[in-house]
Amino acid sequence: MKPQQSTKKMTKQMGKRTYTLKEIAQRDFSAGSKEPLQDLAPVFNLVTIKEDLLDEDTDQIRSINMQIPQEEQGSNNKKINSQEKFVLAIDLINQLIKKEIGKTAKALDLEEAELEAWVDLQVMAPKQTLLALLRIAREHNLDPLKDEVSLALYDDCHWQAYITVEGYSKILNRHPAFDGITFIQSEENLNGIPTWMECSIYRKDRILPIIVREYFEEVKGEQAIWKKMPRRMLRHRVMQQCARLAVG
């Protein structure tokens, strides 16, 4: 094989290795499938990732450097620096989550190990979203173990931490200004399902109620629960949106 062909082949192999590292970073920072997966990917040990990937890449680069001109080696060094930044970013976000778990567990009077185990089970969710969930839980004194805060994955592959119906019900009922809630639905329906539903939340410190209307076609989900209990799910959705405006 000619030296030029060998260089191209080894450079291509290194590119694949770089892509693998990016995939691991994306596993932590991006979204997966909308539906929950039964066979979840294992949790990677970050130290192992750093040793297995960066050290092996370094060996490859040493071999390539023997054949690549000096001016091209600078580009390879940039690739190594990029890989190191990925690992450092993952390390940093994990340290932040570990710290947030301790603060949230203390605020909610939970066992830190129990909360950490719950977080570890959310292997498909991005790290930033888990961090946001923990901060929402602590700020509003909501327990993720009781499903008062949770995670959602949308059609555009965007993850979001959100307060559930149970969480907003807890917030409303302990709010000193909360003065009642009512629901009305449209007389028009499609296959027995009202086309829209309204929620009104009353506050003691407001003259007028906060009113929100949601349309079934705009908010319905693909999960089985939406087909089994469409009216209840529509009521939950409109209540969540109204509560966000009233006490969020």
Task: Check if the beta carbon of residue 144 is closer than 8 Å to that of residue 107.
Answer: no
Residue 43: is its pLDDT beyond 50?
A: no
Provide the percentage of residues in the chain whose pLDDT is more than 70: 65
Q: Residue 86: what pLDDT? A: 67
Task: Check if the beta carbon of residue 37 is closer than 8 Å to that of residue 84.
Answer: no
Q: Is residue 160 part of a domain?
A: no
Average pLDDT over residues 61-68: 47
Task: Check if the beta carbon of residue 87 is closer than 8 Å to that of residue 50.
Answer: yes
Average pLDDT over residues 175-193: 94
- How far apart, in whole angstroms, are the C-alpha atoms of residue 244 and residue 235? 14
**pTM attached to this predicted model:** 0.62
SS3 (DSSP) at 215: strand
Same domain for 69 and 7: yes
Q: Which amino acid is it at 212?
A: V
Q: Is residue 156 part of a domain?
A: no
Same domain for 190 and 85: no
Q: Is residue 170 part of a domain?
A: yes
Residue 166 to residues 129, 144, 154: CA-CA distances in angstroms?
A: 20, 10, 20
Range of the domain at 199: 166-247
Same domain for 24 and 86: yes
Q: Which residue has the higher pLDDT, 243 or 8?
A: 243
Domain count, the chain: 2
Three-state SS sequence of 51-90: HHHHHHHHHHHHHHHCCCCHHHHHHHHHHHHHHHHHHHHH
Q: Which residues contact 113 (CB under 8 A, 6 or more apart)?
A: none
Among the ranges given (79-83, 88-92, 94-98), the one the predictor scored with the smallest mean pLDDT: 79-83
- Alpha carbon 181 to its chain centroid, in Å, reads 31
149-153 and 210-215 beta bridge pairing: unpaired
Same domain for 200 and 100: no
Question: Where residue 90 falls among pLDDT bands split at 50, 70, 90?
Answer: confident
In degrees rounded to 5, what are phi and psi of residue 120?
-65, -25
Residue 22: is its pLDDT beyond 50?
A: no
Same domain for 185 and 111: no
- How far apart, in whole angstroms, are the C-alpha atoms of residue 61 and residue 46? 22
Q: Residue 88: what pLDDT? A: 73
